[in-house]
Amino acid sequence: MSNELGQMVIHGLRERLVTDYPKQIQACIDELTDEQIWWRPNTTSNSIGNLVLHLCGNLSHFIVKGVGGRSYERNRNAEFAEAGPISKNDLVTRLNGVIRNVDEVFAQLTPERLTEHNDSTEMKTSNVNLIQYMTMHFGLHTGQVIYITKMLKEGIFADESFRPQAAARGAALK
């Protein structure tokens, strides 16, 4: 992978993981009560609170530990078993702390490290594949958080202004 392409990959994935998806989740959480954050449509579905805990665990395990080499012990079952109420402020604090750690990993990531094989997690793949997979995974759960928020608050986020940087991207195209 060329250095320029590697830098583009790092920048694009970092933007999604550190900026775009967290802003979308934050916008949803800001609109909801603690009770709504822990609402489940049925017993086999997850609440927004569970999804946030899961994203914290997932990013800490695969990006912070896996790519960044920091220690982390994950309890995946607890991410989904939690019934709350952990306050929305505490959830946001947890998520923001994990996002800061992810950003620190990206700050030290080089294009050369993207193609390195990574055996530090059960996925055993290259760093770029691991980060790309985690980015898609984060996007999937961000979409679920948005959908649940829209179910709970009819009419919310009905326009394109909700998407982070949508206005900036549109202005760049003009």
**pLDDT, tens digit, for every residue of 86-100?**
999 999 999 999 999
Beta bridge pairs of residue 117: 126
pLDDT for res 160: 59
Q: What is the pLDDT of residues 18-72, one digit of tens each?
A: 999 999 999 999 999 999 999 998 989 999 999 999 999 999 999 999 999 999 9
pTM above 0.85, yes or no: yes
**At residue 61, what is the residue type?**
H
pLDDT at residue 171 greater than cutoff 60: no
Return the CATH number at 39: 1.20.120.450
Cα 124 to the center of its chain, rounded Å: 21
Distances (CA, A) of 43 to 32, 77, 83, 141, 148: 20, 15, 11, 18, 15
**At residue 55, what is the residue type?**
L
Residue 127 burial (CB count, 10 A): 21
Structure tokens at 15: 């933007």
DSSP structure class, residue 126:
E
The radius of gyration computed from the CA coordinates of the chain, to the nearest angstrom, equals 17
Say how many domains are in the chain. 1
pLDDT for res 1: 60
List, in order, residues 6 or more apart from 87 with CB less than 8 Å away: 34
Q: What is the pLDDT of residues 116-135, one digit of tens each?
A: 998 888 888 899 999 999 99
**Lowest-confidence range among 1-10, 123-132, 145-154?**
1-10
* Mean pLDDT calculated for residue range 127-150: 96
pLDDT for res 124: 87
**CA atoms of 75 and 73, how far apart (whole Å):** 7
pLDDT at residue 170 greater than cutoff 60: no
Structure tokens at 51: 């999804």
CB-CB contact of 103 with 16 (8 Å) = no
Instruction: Please give the residue range of the domain that contains residue 59.
Output: 3-173
